[in-house]
Amino acid sequence: MTRIAIIFGGTFEEHPVSVKSAREVARCLDTDRYDPLWIKITRGGDWLLCAGPDAEDGRPVVLAPSGLLMLDDGRYEVLPVDVVFPVLHGRLGEDGAVQGLLEVAGIPYVGCDVQSSALCMDKSLTYVVARAAGVATPAFWTEPPDAPDYPVFVKPARSGSSFGVTKASTADELRIALEVARRYDSKVLVEQAVAGSEIGCAVLGDGDELVVGEPDRVALTHGFFRIHQEDAPETGSENATFIVPADISARSRDLVVETAKTVYRALGCSGLARVDMFLTPDGEVVLNEVNTLPGLTSYSRYPRMMAAAGLSLGDVIDRLVSLALTGKAR
């Protein structure tokens, strides 16, 4: 049986989303194949070995070469680990920090490596690499432009789940939006709004051996899509519904899929990622962002897209662990 350590929680704003993703992983994990160790990173930064995602307390652990060191009344016990699944979103989870820690410890892990995680977390660097690969991106600035062509979106350059994202249509709104974004990151991205539908593509695998889910389309009633900002996302978004498979032409679907694969490979992604794009009225695909550890909650887009292509979350987990253990995800 494979011993898998699922790390979840975290110290930043996406902590509760990570807990929800861990709950769904727990529901779908094949316990006949895997012996799970649940490691919660508290908001204060403590690592605790817990009974499961909803446990309130646990025993302190630290990462050690080839496993975990469990501390108890001055004694310690080494818990060997075959593979780690970092079910972490956002800063110090999805940005290469935990991945680097696991590399140093010599423990195989699910998902993108240090370099690709860091590249995808910084939206401005993502755009630079994507453009070099021939993929269209919005016009963007890391310093506020003197006279932008409104509207623009202002984002923390290295955050996720729409935290700190604001649409600005005037100079006053831009000033306020910059203040909001800087609460989440010292580096801020200002980008030109793109007219078009938001399309997502779930990607799984490595190199030439990629599997994609059915692309989805985010249908908005008003405003812009603010994932995980709703009061009760499990009951549905306040302004968005998700159409899977996306109601777009076969030609557009093929272009979306090929663009997602190009972006995934150009950024060095492996394991899994969700590539978010815009499909403009004239049929152009423009990159929005890349999530290297997309949400895996009961209402998340990545599992829905994969399910529409015939892969359950349990199937996805099996493939991710296999990639990590065979070294293909490195």
Phi, psi (deg, nearest 5) at residue 109: -145, 155
Active site residue 15: no
Out of 9, 13, 15, 17, the active site residue is 17
Tell me the backbone φ, ψ of residue 112, rounded to 5 degrees: -65, 155
**DSSP characters over 143-193:** S--SS--S-EEEEETT--TTTT-EEE-SHHHHHHHHHHHTTT-SSEEEEE-
Would residue 222 show up in a list of annotated catalytic residues for this protein?
A: no
Q: Which position among 299, 302, 304, 321 bears the catalytic label?
A: 299
Q: What is the DSSP string of 207-236?
A: TTEEEE---EEEEESSS---TT-SS-GGG-
CA dist 160 → 3, 154, 165 (Å):
30, 13, 9
Annotated active-site residue 89? The verdict is: yes
Q: Catalytic site residue 295?
A: yes
Does 299 participate in catalysis according to the annotation?
yes
| Helix axis angle, 313-326 to 301-308, nearest 10° | 100
Residue 234 bears catalytic tag: yes
**Which residue is catalytic, options 274, 301, 304, 319?**
274
Q: Which of 9, 164, 205, 295 is catalytic?
A: 295
Given 40, 158, 217, 228, the catalytic residue: 228
Prior bond to 151 cis, omega within 30?
Answer: yes
Catalytic residue among 20, 91, 158, 304: 20
Secondary element (H or E) of residue 78: strand 75-80
Among the options 44, 234, 251, 327, which is catalytic?
Answer: 234
The residue from 15, 23, 89, 123 that is catalytic is: 89
228 among known catalytic residues: yes
How far is 146 from 99, CA to CA, in rounded Å? Answer: 38
- β-strand partners of 190: 141, 154
- And the tokens for 3? 């011993």
Q: In angstroms, rounded to a whole number, what is the distance separating the alpha carbons of residues 194 and 189?
A: 15
Active-site residues: which are they?
A: 17, 20, 89, 228, 234, 274, 295, 299
